[in-house]
A and B are shown apart, each in its own frame.
Chain A
Amino acid sequence: MSINGFAQIALFFLILPLLAAPLAAWMQRLYAGDAGWLGWLLGPLERGIYHVLGPLADGEQDWRQYAVSVLAFSLFGVAAVFALQLMQAWLPLNPQGMSAVASDLALNTAVSFVTNTNWQNYAGESTLSPLVQMLGLGVQNFLSAATGLAVMLALIRGFSRERSTGLGNFWVDLTRSTLYLLLPLALLLALLLVAQGVVQTFAAYPTTSDGQSIALGPVASQLAIKHLGTNGGGFFNANAAHPFENPTPLTDFLLVLAQTLIPAAAALLFGRLVGDRRQGRMLLAAMLLVLAAAAVATYCAEAAGNPRITTLAGVDSQPREAMPGGNLEGKELRFGIARSALFATATTATSTGAVDSQHDAYTPLGGLVPMVLMQFSETILGGVGSGLYGMLVFVVLAVFVAGLMVGRTPEYLGKKIEPFEMKMTAIVVLLMPALVLLPTALAAVLPTALTALGNPAAHGFSELLYAFTSMANNNGSAFGGLSGNTPFYNLLGAAVMLLGRFGTLLPVLALAGHLAAKPRLALGAGTLPTHTPLFAGFLIGVVIVVGALTFFPALALGPLVEQLQLWQATP
């Protein structure tokens, strides 16, 4: 641990709110229909899209219509990405002559990108052509994020409107999010990344005089939206550890910032749209507090290093300016320990799932933190859109628990929380653990599943637990030693990712529909204030208790027992 390490972590937490605040103001403006000079530039395109889509792109939708629109759009998305991969060999822009992708892998990848998971069973540079990366994966990087934003807007409208059936229009929310928010930010970020050394070309792989073939591609455009949209599927197999995806510490800083920016702004946007900015600031503060604690914990665990290596004779592991020390196995030297730890926590707190270091090689406690962050149901910032709607479900749960304690009917922002709301909340809160634990248990007893493990004993179990935690929460990062490209993991994984995404999204839309229909009650003396530090602490407590109680036994079999073994093995 060094002062510089803590300074790098602190710098991120200082800059993120400074950028999220103006972005939230911009989002409020553009969702109100005023996109400023961008509207002047892209307005004709936006209106042209609505014209082609026809009458359904006009007017309000109730929650069922909104949900059907989301489902139909996602269905075509899966079909398109699946078909592109199967037809890859016959399509243009394929300089390396990649052949068609196997159908189970293609299905897994298609579902993975449409659900904003971006689990990587494929190895980008040796499996997919630039065309499939752009027109299949890259498109869903935008559209799955925009879909998340749309559902989030619908839920926010559920709170901000009263006695209404309408939740907005999915096609309008989708188009505005894509054109005025994601596209401009991605263009800007992509150019910054290229300036630092990220490649952007359609040329074939060059070969050096020593015979090294160097993979290239249109990486920067893909990378920018991969992080802004909390997607995380890498252009290359090594993801953001690859020097062409993340060439300098500055790009690493920008990527961490990009993947947290929209989720952080979304929390502030919520406060603005419900007419009480303190509510948004409370949510963001609660999220950042947990993330900061997680980043510091991971940093400390990784800086402590692997005693199996550092205690060997003749090894120089003394951290100093000229050598970072710590657990360097599976980390890039330009990032060292602090940047890797910050990236690992930010990528799992948000549902990004990109990696700039191999999480599988982390110390047991260092790898436990990212796993736990995902097990908090992606509420700590979470995915673009999906993070905020996930967190709001936990807010409803917290308000309900608090109401039980004092024996009052719970209400949030003037909306009474009644049995229907609690049923939807219970589905969201309980579905995810089932999607993690049941497949993990199944894989742990199936010989065909166990042959995929890259590590023995407790660490092997951690690989399984991490994999299904990641897929059920639509994160996409992995303990990469698990060779998941088998029909078992491809098909079961696809099912888990679909249920994880839509099993949350549909109850959230139903919740939004019922909330919008209720009146907003005036705040009384007995109303629980939900903008206070006290409530933020209570909310964090509920998130942690639900996550910890559910997953502690499984974690005890994996990272916890492994950490004990590591301490025991050290002389």
Chain B
Amino acid sequence: MRFYLATLRPALLALLLLSAITGLAYPLAVTGLAQWLFPWQANGSRLYTADGRLFGSALIGQSFTRPQQFWGRPSATQPAAYNAAASAGANLGPLHPQLSELVQARIAALRAADPDNPAPIPLDLLTSSASGLDPHISPAAAQWQAVRVARARGLPLAQVQALIAACREPRQFGVLGEARVNVVRLNQALDRLQP
């Protein structure tokens, strides 16, 4: 019994000491090194408008809804889409009745926004992302919207497609992940070209 009580002392002291090392010294050291070596990334990969206001983060999607912008993937965050202070997914199972209703509504909305576009709609524009903050769409989804954006902005299609190509991120090292287009960077580039 004396041993059991005696154990409480090293248990408490070990927790305090190791907490100071792993809970204070370690994160502060990482913060110091990160802010010194990679300040842009460590502070949220921020992008700015031409007049110096915060446009957003290159990694965090936004609720783009105007016809002259590229639109991102559906977002399930609450209370509004792309709430970057409360990430969340929809968590709808494959048979949830709401899922097919939502997808059908998204199809109808995209068709209504671009009635002249006969091409089938890429899947990623119809399905919500896991974080609700996905900054990317597939190259196919960017291509699908290119004509609409070019028309809304009065820009030549070739110029819009060149911007898509510039914002396209390939698979890392040719293998990892998927080819994708960063919608935030793409819209920032469009705004800089033609505010």
Which residues of A approach B to under 8 Å, CB–CB? 4, 7-8, 11, 45, 49, 52-54, 56-57, 65, 68-69, 72-73, 75-77, 80, 123, 125-126, 134-136, 138-139, 141-143, 171, 174-175, 178-179, 182-183, 186-187, 190-191, 194-203, 205-210, 212-216, 218, 220-222, 224-225, 236-238, 241-244, 247-250, 252-253, 305-306, 308-310, 312, 314-317, 320-336, 339, 355-358, 360-364, 454-459, 462, 479-481, 562, 565-566, 569
Show 16 A/B contacts (Cβ-Cβ < 8 Å), sorted by A: A49-B18, A54-B13, A178-B21, A183-B22, A187-B26, A194-B30, A215-B85, A221-B26, A241-B130, A252-B176, A315-B126, A323-B123, A323-B140, A327-B94, A363-B94, A481-B93
Write the nearest CB–CB distance from A200 to chain B, whole angstroms. Answer: 4
* Residues on B with beta carbons closer than 8 Å to the beta carbon of A178: 18, 21-22
B162 part of interface (Cβ distance < 8 Å): no
* Residues on B with beta carbons closer than 8 Å to the beta carbon of A56: 6-7, 9-10
Say whether B54 contacts A206, CB under 8 Å: yes
Cα–Cα distance between A153 and B9 once the two chains are bound (Å) = 23
Chain A residue at smallest Cβ distance from B8: A72
Say whether B177 contacts A339, CB under 8 Å: yes
Say whether A214 contacts B96, CB under 8 Å: no
Say whether A53 contacts B13, CB under 8 Å: yes
Chain B residue at smallest Cβ distance from A125: B85
Say whether A355 contacts B41, CB under 8 Å: no
Cα–Cα distance between A326 and B85 once the two chains are bound (Å) = 29
Chain B residue at smallest Cβ distance from A142: B22
Say whether B44 contacts A199, CB under 8 Å: yes
Among B18, B49, B100, residue most surrounded by chain A Cβ atoms (within 10 Å)? B18
Say whether B104 contacts A312, CB under 8 Å: yes
* Residues on B with beta carbons closer than 8 Å to the beta carbon of A250: 172-173, 176-177
Which residues of B approach A to under 8 Å, CB–CB? 3-4, 6-15, 17-19, 21-24, 26-27, 29-31, 33-35, 37-38, 41-46, 49, 53-63, 73, 82-97, 99-100, 103-104, 107, 111, 119-124, 126-141, 143-144, 169, 171-173, 175-180
* Residues on B with beta carbons closer than 8 Å to the beta carbon of A569: 95
Among B41, B136, B139, residue most surrounded by chain A Cβ atoms (within 10 Å)? B41
* A191-B37 contact in complex given A76-B15, A249-B176, A336-B178, C-beta closer than 8 Å: yes
Write the nearest CB–CB distance from B125 to chain A, whole angstroms. Answer: 9
Among A123, A336, A339, A457, residue most surrounded by chain B Cβ atoms (within 10 Å)? A336
* Residues on A with beta carbons closer than 8 Å to the beta carbon of B27: 134, 138, 218, 221-222
Write the nearest CB–CB distance from A209 to chain B, whole angstroms. Answer: 4
* Residues on A with beta carbons closer than 8 Å to the beta carbon of B135: 243
Say whether A213 contacts B10, CB under 8 Å: no
Cα–Cα distance between A196 and B159 once the two chains are bound (Å) = 29
Q: A53-B10, A329-B127 are in contact. List 7 more A-B contacts (CB 8 A).
A: A52-B13, A197-B41, A201-B43, A225-B22, A247-B45, A330-B92, A360-B91
Say whether B180 contacts A333, CB under 8 Å: yes
Say whether B94 contacts A325, CB under 8 Å: no
